[in-house]
Amino acid sequence: MTDIAKNWAQCDGYRKELVASFGEVEVSRREHKELLERTDREEPVYMAQEYIVDGLMPTGEIHVLVGPSGSGKSTFLYKNFIHEWQHNKKVFGRDSTFMPYMIFSADRSLGNIQRSLQRMKLNPKPSVNTQKRPCKIT
């Protein structure tokens, strides 16, 4: 058998493997289409979701408040949101449910945060890190 014939024979073997593989893809495609058609006929079922503020801020998610320096983020967060939320009062006119939380402040020292709370006449909660050394995240 010549080298060319050997190459053709080898290619033919690969071609048969590819046909077999594509045949499996077609079966998967058909099964997928049948599953989609069945699912489309069913009534949707969704997981129950809990919210920190009714309809806003789902539990188990990370929520970020961003804006330029001096725009009032801290005042808004502490006075108009966290203070009300910690007391299970309405937030934005919606029911709220207090859950454990953590605030990361990359641009403020603990002293700066405490001065902001003092300016807003809010008591630092026991959850505020009052240690002299910063928290270490590992």
Tens of pLDDT along 69-81?
A: 888 888 888 888 8
Could you tell me the residue ranges of all domains in the chain?
1-45, 51-119
* Phi, psi dihedrals of residue 78, rounded to the nearest 5°: -75, -50
In which band, very low, low, confident or very high, does the pLDDT at 93 lie, cut at 50, 70 and 90? very high
* Alpha-carbon radius of gyration of the chain: 30
Name which residue leads in pLDDT, 113 or 132: 113
- What average pLDDT does the segment 52-59 reach? 88
* Phi, psi dihedrals of residue 96, rounded to the nearest 5°: -130, 155
Tens of pLDDT along 5-51?
A: 666 566 666 556 655 555 566 667 888 888 889 888 988 888 888 88
Q: What's the predicted TM-score (pTM) here?
A: 0.51
